[in-house]
Each structure stands twice: as C-alpha cells, then as structure tokens.
A = this chain, B = another copy of it.
Amino acid sequence: MTWVTIDRLQKTPLIRQIYTQLRTKILNGEFSAGYRLPSTRQLAEELEVSRNVVLEAYEQLLAEGFLEGHTGAGTFVAEGAYLKKTDPITPFMMEKKLSKMNYDSIIDFRSGIPALDLFPRKQWGQIVKRVSIETDHSLFGYDSPEGRIEFRTVLADYLLRTRGVECHPEQLVITSGATQAFTLVAKLLLSPNDKVIIEDPITHEIQTIFQSYGASLFPIKVDEYGMVTTQIPTEIKPAFIFVTPSHQFPMGGTLPIQRRIHLIEFARKVGSYIIEDDYDSEFRYEGPAVSSLQGLDPKRTIYIGTFSKILSPALRLGYLILPPSLIERGRRLKYFSDLHTPSIEQLSLALFIKEGYLEKHIFRMRKIYRKRRDFLKEQLCKKFGDRVRIHGDSTGLHLVAEFDEIYFTDSLLSKIYGNGVKVYPVELHTINKGFYTNQIILGFGYLNEAQIKEGITKLEMSVNN
C-alpha cells in the first residue's frame, strides 16, 4: 500500500502525519463511506512504526467521527464525512496601512506623534517587569471593566493636580486610547438622527465615529479662540456638544472662560452633555496648563484624556470621566466592548505616575517640543517670509501654517509627497469645505531639527517650482 507516507525528518509527530493524511483522504472522498481501513497492526508494520502510533491516529479519527469501529469487524470510514472542496485561498498581500506611517524614507509632518526615540523605554521595561514579578497573582485574572482601582486613584490625583479636573476614581473608566472613549460616548448618548454640535474643523476620525452611530453633525465654526459659541442656534437640542477647549484640533485655539460658561449655560438649558476632548494640553509652552472645562461643571461634562501624546500611542491607554448618572452604563458598555483594558499595563502606568516618572518625562519633553516648535517657526519664516502665518502654536505637538496664495490641492500635495515630504491639509478635517484651502497642519513632535529643516526646504521647493 502506498497511500500513507511518513517523513521522519519532519517536525510534525508521526501520529499527526498519519491522522492528517487519512483525514484528508476521507474529506475529499478518496476513501468513501464504508471503506474498510487496514488493521492497526497491519498498517504499523507497513509503515514501520509502533502500533501505538497508528492506534492513536485511528482513535483520534474515531473521536472526531471520521471512522466507525465495529468490535471484531474492523474500522470503517463513516457516513457524511465527505466535503466538496472549494478553491483554496491563495496567498495574497494586502498589507495596506490604514494608519501606519513610514518613519524612514519620508519626512512626515503628521500631527500627534510624540518623539518615539525619547520614550523612556528602560524605565518602562523595568516597571513592567517589576509589576509582572511582584504583584499578587490575582493581577493575571479578569478585572473590572472600569479599570484597576490603583490606576484610577493615581490618575484622579494626577488630573486634579495638573489639570484642575475634579473627579473621584469611581467616575473613571480606563479605555483603549481616546478612540475607544469616543465610541463609548457615542454608544452612551447617541440615538439615530440625534444632533451633535461640533467644532469645524475637527479631527476627521471623530466625525466618522459619531456619524457611524447615526448622529448628524451640526458644525460650528472655529476662530483663533476655538468654537464660536455665539453661533450655536438657541433652538437646537443636541445629544451633546463636542469640544477641544484646551487646544482646538487642528486650529489650536484655547477657549476663553466666557465661551466655556456660555457652553455650560447652553447645555444646562437644553439638558445636554458636553464632551471635552483634552488630547495634548500637557504641552503648554506659554504659562501653566489651562484648567479643564470639566472642573466648571462635572455633572454635565464628560472628559476624555489619553496617554498617547504624553507617553506613547502604542500603549493604547486613555480614559473617560463620567458624571455619576452615566457611570453604571459606561462600565457596562466597556464590559461588552472588551471586558477591560490590559491590567499589567494599567498597573505599570500607575507606578510610573506615582513614582514621578511621568511628570519628569513631560517636563523634559515640553522643553524639547518647545525647541522643535520654535525651530519649525523659524524655518517657516526663513523660507516663506511674509507669505506664512502661524496659528495655534501655544500648546501641543502641531501648529497650523497659513500661506498667501498657496492652495493645497491634491496635485500640490502629490508633488510635495513626491519630493519626500508629507503635510496634512486642514481641509481634511473640515465639515463645511473650502475655507481652509491655504492652510496645513504641521506636527513637529517626533521630528528632529535636521528633519524639520529638510522638510520645510523641500516644501518650499515643491511650492515654488
């Protein structure tokens, strides 16, 4: 008989080799129902293997229903074990990157990326190791949907100290980055056809998320101070108002107290919530950090924060501060999304904050980013002189550059890209189109001075040729 072959050089165990070949032949109909297999003794002799090997392969096939055994009568192929094959899946490559960037060959002014080469990798590695080795073993089990209490306690302290955010640890839900916080807010508050008042422009992904939950967006224009709150129509009753008051994205304004109060009074009147997205205000270059909007009315504001900009987006750690009335539902929604956020990372970050590493890191990075920002502004002025105006550079990891008579059409953007530079038009993030065609967003967080210089030089070349 030649229908089973074994290969003693292969890593696959002999039992598995025999099992797999028989299984395949039954599935594809080569051995059909009722076919009698050789006895285990006979097959073992032919293949020169121990009889136990054949016995185990047969037993597995019996257990899975491929074979039937009749005591004394032998082993037969069972009914109903033939399956018509479809075409196999052919190898294919579709490593299309939805969000991954090319860090090497292109100078990419993408916003919101911290200096990856300055991530405190040694401290982080050591802390994770310590947490893994020293914590009680319950750490490795299922945890609470809202996150580790140690982390939430440390975080509530940190937020009060640095951001004027008023919250009890019970109000926090730890999320997988700010993105998950946006989807949880959408699930919490949105019903189809609900209105959402939102800044225009505002991060494109956030628009997509709210729309995917059925919201219709009501855009309010933005000036150098953020949302122009006086333009909110009094008759509208939104599910919520979404704002980035510390550092409007992308235009960079900081919302003055009058507009904050206006928003809160409006929200109180119509009975809706305010979502405060605070993504990078730790890096404020002029004066101390602005206090949060949340602190003005913690019952009406949902605050969303992230460690992606101040530490690393790879950690996927963000959080949501909920008013008491929404806590139970918020936890439940988190539970049914992914049970909870990874525990070892949460505890590691708690320690990282508690032992002062985070604030030290932010302090260090703020100086570095300020230098990069100043250098970028300098380069822009040097290359474009009067033709460029800078917006929103008081805070964060990006600024907006507005140009006289340079319009960032697709063809200009391709040309710039062809020259090895990637810039992001503000128009990517607008709802009402056409008002920001001469403006681009320039992230500077993870680019060093040499890269910034080369990038702006090439940008100027692309524009003027």
A contacts, CB < 8 Å to B: 12, 15-16, 19-20, 23, 27, 56, 59-60, 63-66, 78-84, 86-89, 91-101, 103, 113-114, 116-117, 119, 121-122, 124-126, 128-133, 137-145, 149, 161, 164, 166, 168, 170-171, 175-177, 179-180, 183, 205, 208-209, 212, 254, 256-259, 261-262, 264-265, 286-288, 290-291, 296-300, 308, 312-316, 323-324, 327-328, 331-332, 335-345, 446
Contacts and interface: CB of A to CB of B under 8 A. Distances in A.
A176 B257 CA distance: 39
Given A19-B288, A89-B166, A141-B313, 11 more contacts: A79-B258, A80-B261, A81-B258, A100-B144, A126-B129, A179-B338, A179-B339, A180-B337, A180-B338, A313-B339, A315-B344
B339 A316 contact: yes
B288 A78 contact: no
29 contacts: A20-B164, A27-B296, A56-B288, A60-B287, A63-B286, A63-B287, A65-B259, A80-B257, A83-B265, A89-B324, A91-B168, A93-B170, A95-B170, A98-B335, A99-B143, A99-B340, A101-B141, A101-B142, A103-B141, A121-B132, A126-B129, A128-B128, A128-B129, A139-B314, A140-B312, A142-B314, A183-B338, A209-B336, A212-B336
Contacts of A129: 125-126, 128-129
Contact of A316 (B97, B119, B342): B342
Please give me the 10 A-B residue pairs with the lowest Cβ-Cβ distance, nearest first. A65-B256, A125-B132, A80-B258, A125-B129, A176-B338, A314-B343, A180-B338, A140-B312, A65-B257, A129-B129
A85 B413 CA distance: 49
Contacts of A87: 299
Contacts of A298: 88-89
Contacts of A299: 86-87, 89
Contacts of A144: 97-100
A261 B291 contact: no
A64 B257 contact: yes
B339 A342 contact: no
How many of these chains are in the complex?
2
Contacts of A290: 63-64
B91 A59 contact: no
Contacts of A139: 116, 314
A131 to B, nearest CB: 8
Given A144-B99, A296-B27, A336-B183, A170 B83 contact: no
Contacts of A15: 288
Contacts of A27: 257, 296
B332 A261 contact: no
A48 to B, nearest CB: 21
A12 B121 CA distance: 29
A343 B133 CA distance: 20
A101 to B, nearest CB: 7
Contact of A314 (B94, B96, B143): B143
A324 to B, nearest CB: 6
B142 A133 contact: no
A285 B114 CA distance: 49
Contacts of A100: 142-144
Nearest to A67: B257
A168 B168 CA distance: 46
B126 A65 contact: no
A206 to B, nearest CB: 10
Contacts of A300: 86
A176 B176 contact: yes
A125 B27 CA distance: 44
A60 B315 CA distance: 32
